[in-house]
Structure 1
Amino acid sequence: MNTRFAFTALLLLLSTGLFSQDSQNVILLDNWQDDNLPTISHGIRYNEVWGFVHDGLEYAVIGSTMGTHIFRITDDDTFSEVAFVPGAFQGQVVHRDFHDYKGYLYGTCDQGTSTLQIIDLHLLPDTVELVYNSNELVTTAHNIFIDSTSALAYLAGPSGSPLRIISLEEPTQPTLVNNFFGPVSYVHDLYVRNDTAYLNAANQGLWVVNFADPLNPELLGSLTTYPDQGYNHSGWLSEDSQLYVFADENDGFEMKACDVSDLGNIEVLSTFASNISPNSVPHNLMLKDGIVYVSHYNDGLQIFDLNDPENPERIAWYDTFNGDISYSFNGAWGIYAFLPSGRLLISDRTSGLYLFRMDLTLSTAELKRESSLQVFPNPTSGPLTLRCDLAQITGLRIVNLAGQEVRSLNTTGLWRGDELLLDVGDLPRGLYVIEVRSETEVQHTRVLRY
C-alpha cells in the first residue's frame, strides 16, 4: 500500500471538509439581531463590526441603519448590550465604520447629512457617552483608520477629497491636518502603520504612501496591474510588514497575497478564494499570525492559512447567510479578529452580529465520532496537551499539509486517559495533522501553530 498517498488523501479529507457545506472548524457562540430596526433594500439592517478591550473586558460594536450598538462579550460567550448611540443620519444607511483609540470609539457614516462621532468608553461597563458629534471636519466618509503611533486618523472617501487626515492629539477635539489628493481620485479603504498607508483605491489599484510629514506625503509604491484586477476594496498588513493581503469587490474575483518587502516592486505571490460559487465576492479581511479572516458576503466567514503565502489553504468557515444568493452583496459585511480571547466577530447585513470561535480539533461531527484524540489549546503558539482513549499509544507523528513528517515520538508506555505534553513552538506557523497509533488503531486530528 502507498502510505504516502493514503496519508495525503487523509490530509485532503481533513483540510477540505467534504462532509459540510455550511460550516467547518468554527463554533457559533452567539448571535444578536433586532427585527425592529428599519431595513434598506434586500432586507439589509446592519453594516460594519469592530471590537475593543476596556479594563480587561472585551466589547463588540456593530453599525445599523439607526446608529451604533455596543455590547459586552461575557465570559460565557454571549452578547450583553451596553449602549445604543443614535446616528446623526438614520434610515437609508449602507455603511458606518469604526475605530477605537485611547478609550474612545470613532465612528463615520457614508450616507446623508452625517457627522464624525466620538464616543467616550471610560464609563464602561455601565454606559458610554457621545462627546463629539460634528460635521465640521467631515460629513460623510466610507472608512476610518487610526494610526496610534502618530495620533492621526485617516478618513477614506470623505466628501471633497480622496483622503482626509485629522489629528487626535486631543482625542475629543480633532483637528484637520491635510486633504490628500495625490495620484488617485478616490480611496475606498486603507491600512496604516507607522505613517505608511496602504491605499485601496477602488478601480485605480493599490498605492503605498508615507505620511510621516502629512503635509508633504511621499509615494513609496503602487500595484496597478495584477491578476483578477477590479475594485480594490480592502486589505491588511502582516505583523512583520512583509505581506499585504487585499480583496477586489467583484463577482468571482480572488483575493491577493502580496510581497511588500520592496515597495518599489510589489509582487503578487498567490490568489485565493472560497470557491463556493462563481459569483462569490470577498468583502473585508484581517490578517493575524498568518491566518486571514474574511467576511465573504454570501459565503459568510471564511478563514485561510497563509503561513505559506504562495500556497494559501482554506481551513475553516461558517456561512451566516441562507437567503437568495442571486444578489452578490448580501451576507457577511465585516470581520474583527483581534480580541485577546481569540473569539471572532462577524456582522451580517441581514442577520446581525455573530460571535464565533475557531476550533481546528476536528473537521466534522462525523470525524469526532471516529476519533477520540484531543489536543488543546488549539490553535497554539507552541505548548500542547494531547489526550486520547486508545488502549496503549505506541507512536505519534506530526505531519504538515504536504504530507511530510516533521516530528516523530516513541510513546510506548502511554495508556488510555494519559496526557502527553508537546511543544510545537519550533515548527513553522501553519496547519499540521497529529497521528497517534496503537497496535490496532490509528487516530488523527489537526492543530494550528500560529
Structure 2
Amino acid sequence: MKKILNWNDRFYVGCLIVFFSNIFYVNAQVPQLKLLGRWNDPTIIGSAQYNNAYNEAYGFTVNNREYGIIGSTYGWHIIDVTEPKKPFERMRIKGGTSNESVIHRDFRYHKCHIYAVCDEGSASTLQILDVSQLPDTAFLVYDKKELFYRSHNIYVDENKSRLYTSAEKNDQGFYALGLYDISNPSKPVLIDHYNKFGNIIANHVHDCFVRNDTAYLNCGNDGFAIMDFSDVKNPKPLYTLKPNEYQFSGYNHSGWLTPDGKTYVMADENHGSPLKVFDLSNWSNIKIVSHLWANSDTSKCIPHNPLLSCKYAYIAYYYNGLQVFNIEDKNKPTLIGYYPTSTEFNDLSYEGAWGVYPFLPSGNLIVADMQKGMFIVEGPEKVCNPVNQCGISSNRNEKINVTQVFPVPFHSSLNIKNLAKIRSIEVYSSIGSLIYNNTLDTQDEIEVNTSDWKEGVYILRLITKGGELLSEKIIRL
C-alpha cells in the first residue's frame, strides 16, 4: 500500500549523507556525441524576452518514418528525420498566437494525434493534429479555445487516455492543474481542475509526469508532490516535498521516471543547481541519493528538461547543450556523453538547449536549441521505452474493413455499414477541412449525401467506442 510520507524526521541526516558521499564529480574526458543532421529556418523571429526562435522538442513515428517536432514563435514544425543527415520540414502548423510574444510550446502524442499548447497569447488554442496519414498529409481535427487557450506544459497518461494541463488558463480563470478525458482523441472532455496536493497548495504546476494515474507534479516555488489520481474526485497524496526540505532546492521545474518506476530525476531550474536523483524502490523511504552536474562551470549551469530511459538520463541543459548520464547505478551516476548545441555566453539568462526527445526507434536524439533550431544527434542506445508509433497502413486498414464503406470510389452518396462499435464518423478534405461529422447513437448503417462534394481525395475517420482511431483515404469521382 502506498503511504504519504513524513519527510522531516530524516531530512537532515539524508542531506549530510547525500552531500558527503553522493555528489557527482565531472569527468573532463567525456566524449562529444556525433551530430547527424540539423534543421533551422533563419526567417523565424526570436521572442522579445529571450530571443528564442525555438522551444520544445518532441518526436513520433508513422508508417516506419521518424519525425521530430520543434516549437517556434511561428507555431510548430514537423521535420522528417528518417534520414537524419537529410532532415526536411514535412509541414508547419501556425499557432493561434504566432509572434514574438511566444516563448513556450509543448507537445504530446496519443493514438495517432499530436496535442500542442502555447503559454502566451489570448489567441492561443489547444491544437490536435491527426498524423495517421503521414507522409501524405496531416490535418488539424481540433483548434479551439473553448476548454482553455493557454497551458505551460501538458502530459498524456497513455494507458488511461487522460490529458493533464499544467498552469492552464481559460476564459474563467487560471488553474494549477487541469485533467481531461481524451478517450476520443479529437474531442477532449474536462474532468476537473486541481490546486491542492496533500500539504501543498500550488499557485501553479509547472510540469508533470503521469503513469497509470500516479502523477509526479513539479509545483515551482511550492515544491514537489506525487499524487494518486485513480479517484479523480478525490486524488490522494502519496509524497510531498516542500522547498528547503532538500539540498539545492529552488524552482521545482520538471522530472521524469524510468520505465521500471524505481528512479526519478528532477530538475530545479536555477543557475548552479544540479538535478536530483530519487530512489523510489521503497515507497516507505523515498530519498534523493545523488545529483547530476553538467560538464561545465557548476556555479552557472542551469538544467531544463530531463527524460529517462532504462539506463540513461537525457538532459537539455541550456547553455551546456545536451548532457547524457548513465543512471544504472543511481547512487553513482556518470556523465557519458554531451553535445554542445549552443555557443551563447552564459550570462545567467536562458539560452541554448531547451528540450530533447530520445525515444525514436533508431535511437537518434532530437534536440531543440532556442537559437539554433533542431539537432539530430546519434544516441548511445536503442531505448527500452514505449515509442510514439502510429502504423495506419497495415493494422488499422485491416480493422476498418470490418466496417463496410461503399461504393469505392463514390460519387453522389457514400454508404457505411456495420457501425455497432463506432462512436463517431468524420470526413476531412485533403487540406484538413472538416466536411462531415456524425456522432452515432444506435445506427448500424448510414448514407451520406455527397452530391455537393468536390472531386478528389478525402480522409474518412471512424472513432470506435473504445477510443481507437480507424482511418483511410476515400475518393470522390
Is the TM-score greater than 0.5?
A: yes
CA apart distance, 1:275: 4.5
CA apart distance, 1:185: 2.3
Paired position in structure 2 for 1:145: 155
Paired position in structure 2 for 1:79: 87
Summarize the alignment of residues 85-234 of structure 1 with structure 2, pairs less than 5 Å apart.
Answer: 85-91=93-99, 92-113=101-122, 114-159=124-169, 160-182=174-196, 183=200, 184-224=202-242, 225-234=245-254
Indicate if the aligned counterparts of 2:358 and 2:379 stay in contact, CA closer than 8 A: no
Measure, in 1, the Cα distance between the counterparts of 2:223 and 2:348. Answer: 25
Summarize the alignment of residues 27-426 of structure 1 with structure 2, pairs less than 5 Å apart.
Answer: 27-40=34-47, 41-75=49-83, 77-91=85-99, 92-113=101-122, 114-159=124-169, 160-182=174-196, 183=200, 184-224=202-242, 225-277=245-297, 278-358=299-379
CA apart distance, 1:53: 1.2
Structure 2 counterpart of 1:191, which letter?
Answer: F
Measure, in 2, the Cα distance between the counterparts of 1:330 and 1:157. Answer: 22
CA apart distance, 1:203: 1.3
Measure, in 1, the Cα distance between the counterparts of 2:383 and 2:126. Answer: 39
Structure 2 counterpart of 1:211, which letter?
Answer: F
Indicate if the aligned counterparts of 1:207 and 1:223 stay in contact, CA closer than 8 A: yes
Identity of aligned residues (%): 37
SS state at 2:67 partner: strand
Taking a change above 3 Å as real, the CA distance of residues 157 and 42 of structure 1, as seen in their structure-2 partners, is closer
Indicate if the aligned counterparts of 1:47 and 1:349 stay in contact, CA closer than 8 A: yes
Indicate if the aligned counterparts of 2:28 and 2:295 stay in contact, CA closer than 8 A: no
CA apart distance, 1:76: 5.1
Structure 1 counterpart of 2:234, which letter?
Answer: N
Taking a change above 3 Å as real, the CA distance of residues 76 and 250 of structure 1, as seen in their structure-2 partners, is closer
Deviations 1:28-56 (A, max 9, x none): 01111111112124431000010011112
Taking a change above 3 Å as real, the CA distance of residues 170 and 45 of structure 1, as seen in their structure-2 partners, is same
Structure 1 counterpart of 2:303, which letter?
Answer: P
Structure 2 counterpart of 1:242, which letter?
Answer: K
Indicate if the aligned counterparts of 1:316 and 1:358 stay in contact, CA closer than 8 A: no
Measure, in 1, the Cα distance between the counterparts of 2:203 and 2:282. Answer: 25
Paired position in structure 2 for 1:8: none
SS state at 1:192 partner: strand
Tell which has more relative contact order, 1 or 2 (C-alpha 8 A, sep 6+). Answer: 2
Taking a change above 3 Å as real, the CA distance of residues 309 and 154 of structure 1, as seen in their structure-2 partners, is same
TM-score, normalization: structure 1? 0.74
Indicate if the aligned counterparts of 1:220 and 1:264 stay in contact, CA closer than 8 A: no
Deviations 1:119-151 (A, max 9, x none): 110120122111111111111100010001110
Indicate if the aligned counterparts of 2:363 and 2:383 stay in contact, CA closer than 8 A: no
CA apart distance, 1:379: 7.4
Indicate if the aligned counterparts of 1:211 and 1:217 stay in contact, CA closer than 8 A: yes
SS state at 2:151 partner: coil
Segments ≥4 residues shifted beyond 6 Å: 378-381
Structure 2 counterpart of 1:353, which letter?
Answer: M
CA apart distance, 1:25: 3.9
Paired position in structure 2 for 1:16: 27
Structure 1 counterpart of 2:259, which letter?
Answer: E
TM-score, normalization: structure 2? 0.70
Deviations 1:338-384 (A, max 9, x none): 1111000110000001100035xxxxxxxxxxxxxxxxxx7799xxx
Indicate if the aligned counterparts of 2:272 and 2:302 stay in contact, CA closer than 8 A: yes
Measure, in 1, the Cα distance between the counterparts of 2:383 and 2:278. Answer: 26
**Equivalenced residues, count:** 345
Deviations 1:380-409 (A, max 9, x none): 99xxxxxxxxxxxxxxxxxxxxxxxxxxxx
Paired position in structure 2 for 1:363: none
Gapped regions of structure 2 (runs ≥ 5): 1-25, 385-477
